[in-house]
């Protein structure tokens, strides 16, 4: 039954994709008058052209060209899409992992200690709503390095979902399980690793999944601000070049990489799920 449902859902998704691409292609064909113009006439402004979104056929052709050699490097402003994505993924993973190193232990502390929960809650409530990009000018002033500043912004945006989910997961562990650990005279540290961590792991990984999604959103905007390299810079640079085909292609690549990151953490979450 489940396999049949998955098969039908796949067919429905493919049908919707074909329909959307078809409508997109037909709606953005160049007018006949524009087709008849020579390249020289177009460059000289020989006709008033209506702005149009590039059709899927042009995006697919560019995607084939870019993905055929994704790691070429022809200078500071001309790097392949693979290099641009690699820089962005590196920044995201560095900031994300640094946030995990801080957020998970502090989340454990908050979840296990009512005193620390009340003491740290005001700081969390004040800092959590601040937009990560609001920290960028301060980071650039203090750190004086755009690469490290971008990683810092990812760290800031990643830490809160992980910290809050970890604290919630730890606090939600059934007291019966903790009492059994105490009955067996387990130390607090051993209780945390053998009882609380496995029980709270699904919630912790859900927080990490939320964090990686937010981090991937923020890195695009951060790289647009600081420039240099990365998929955000690539999008902004192609927009400045008025190359909408490359802009759309890069947007699709952002979506694909974001989906892959989410799927990886989703698979990790399923591995630690349990039934009571």
Determine the pLDDT at residue 197. 86
Task: Please give the average per-residue pLDDT across 127-150, as a whole number.
Answer: 90
User: Taking 80 as the threshold, does the pLDDT of residue 40 lie above it?
Assistant: no
The answer to whether the CB of 179 falls within 8 A of the CB of 123 is no
- pTM for the structure as a whole: 0.84
Determine the pLDDT at residue 32. 57
- Rounded (to 5) percent helix, strand, coil in the chain: 80, 0, 20
Of 213 and 176, more confident = 213
Coil vs helix vs strand at 274? coil
Task: Please give the average per-residue pLDDT across 229-239, as a whole number.
Answer: 89
Task: Please give the average per-residue pLDDT across 3-28, as a whole number.
Answer: 86
User: Taking 90 as the threshold, does the pLDDT of residue 181 lie above it?
Assistant: no
User: Taking 70 as the threshold, does the pLDDT of residue 207 lie above it?
Assistant: yes
End-to-end Cα, the chain, rounded Å: 25
Q: What is the pLDDT of residues 239-270, one digit of tens each?
A: 888 888 999 999 999 999 999 999 999 999 88
Determine the pLDDT at residue 48. 43
Q: How many residues does the chain have?
A: 276
The answer to whether the CB of 214 falls within 8 A of the CB of 180 is no
Q: Return the number of other C-beta atoms located less than 10 Å from residue 20's C-beta.
A: 11
Determine the pLDDT at residue 195. 84
Domains and CATH numbers, the chain: 58-71+79-272 (1.10.3720.10)
Q: What is the pLDDT of residues 157-178, one digit of tens each?
A: 999 999 999 999 998 888 877 7
Of 77 and 89, more confident = 89
């Amino acid at each position: 039954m489940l396999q049949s449902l998955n098969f039908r859902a796949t067919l429905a998704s493919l049908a919707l994709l074909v329909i959307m691409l078809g409508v997109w292609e037909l709606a953005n064909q160049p007018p006949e008058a524009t087709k008849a113009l020579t390249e020289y006439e177009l460059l000289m402004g020989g006709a008033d052209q209506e702005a149009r979104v590039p059709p899927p056929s042009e995006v697919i052709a560019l995607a084939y060209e870019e993905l055929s050699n994704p790691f070429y490097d022809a200078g500071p402003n001309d790097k392949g899409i693979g290099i641009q994505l690699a820089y962005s993924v590196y920044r995201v993973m560095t900031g994300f992992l640094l946030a995990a190193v801080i957020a998970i232990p502090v989340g454990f502390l908050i979840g296990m200690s009512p005193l620390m929960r009340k003491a740290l809650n005001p700081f969390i409530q004040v800092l959590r709503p601040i937009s990560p990009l609001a920290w960028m000018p301060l980071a650039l002033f203090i750190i004086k390095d755009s690469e490290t500043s971008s990683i810092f912004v990812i760290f800031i945006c990643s830490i809160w979902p992980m910290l809050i989910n970890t604290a919630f997961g730890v606090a939600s562990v059934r007291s019966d399980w903790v009492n059994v650990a105490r009955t067996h005279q387990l130390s607090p540290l051993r209780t945390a690793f053998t009882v609380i961590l496995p029980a709270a792991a699904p919630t912790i990984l859900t927080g990490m999944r939320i964090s990686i999604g937010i981090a991937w959103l923020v890195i695009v905007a951060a790289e647009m601000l600081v420039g240099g390299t990365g998929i955000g810079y690539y999008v902004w640079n192609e927009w400045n070049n008025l190359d909408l085909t490359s802009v759309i292609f890069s947007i699709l690549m952002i979506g694909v990489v974001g989906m892959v990151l989410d799927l990886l953490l989703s698979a990790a979450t399923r591995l630690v799920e349990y039934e009571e």
